[in-house]
């Protein structure tokens, strides 16, 4: 089962990572100034990850595949790692869709 890990960056911002059951990070958030906003971001991932149209499939300038998960308002709520192939990227999307809805929350800022 996946889990969201909330942490604090050196600059004081909060962020979360969604890790799959094997511990691999499959989605990383932007920085949030408030912890409550970070928690709202997690809820947005839970909801939006179930809608295929919210995943924006991209290719970097170096040719690596990746994706962004967008909220209803079009704002990016999470980004993936860089993948070697489009197939691997698509597997990453499937993993987010499987893990996000029931993922536990591990708050490491407490």
pLDDT value of residue 19? 98
Do residues 102 and 1 make contact, with C-beta atoms less than 8 angstroms apart? yes
Mean pLDDT by 10 residues, the chain (110 residues): 96 98 96 98 98 98 97 96 97 98 96
pLDDT value of residue 29? 98
Range of the domain at 75: 3-107
Number of domains in the chain: 1
The token pair that represents 11 in the structure block: 């600059």
Q: Half-sphere exposure of residue 6, counting CA atoms within 13 Å on the CB side?
A: 23
pLDDT value of residue 8? 97
pLDDT value of residue 86? 97
- CA dist 14 and 34 (Å) reads 7
Nearest to 65 by CA among 44, 45, 91, 42: 91
pTM for the structure as a whole = 0.95
- Residues 6 or more apart whose Cβ sits within 8 Å of residue 53: none
pLDDT value of residue 90? 98
pLDDT value of residue 62? 96
pLDDT value of residue 85? 97
The token pair that represents 15 in the structure block: 């962020």
**Residue 18 is part of a domain; what is its CATH number?**
2.30.29.80
């Amino acid at each position: 089962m996946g889990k969201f890990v909330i942490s604090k960056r050196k600059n004081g911002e909060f962020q979360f990572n969604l890790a799959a059951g094997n511990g691999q990070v499959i989605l990383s958030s932007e920085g949030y100034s408030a912890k409550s906003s970070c928690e709202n971001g997690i809820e947005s991932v839970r909801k939006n990850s179930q809608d295929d149209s919210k995943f924006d499939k991209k290719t970097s300038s170096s040719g690596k595949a990746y994706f962004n998960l967008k909220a209803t308002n079009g704002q990016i709520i999470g980004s993936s790692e860089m993948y070697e192939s489009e197939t691997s990227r698509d597997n990453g999307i499937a993993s987010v869709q499987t893990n996000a809805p029931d993922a536990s929350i591990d708050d490491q800022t407490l």
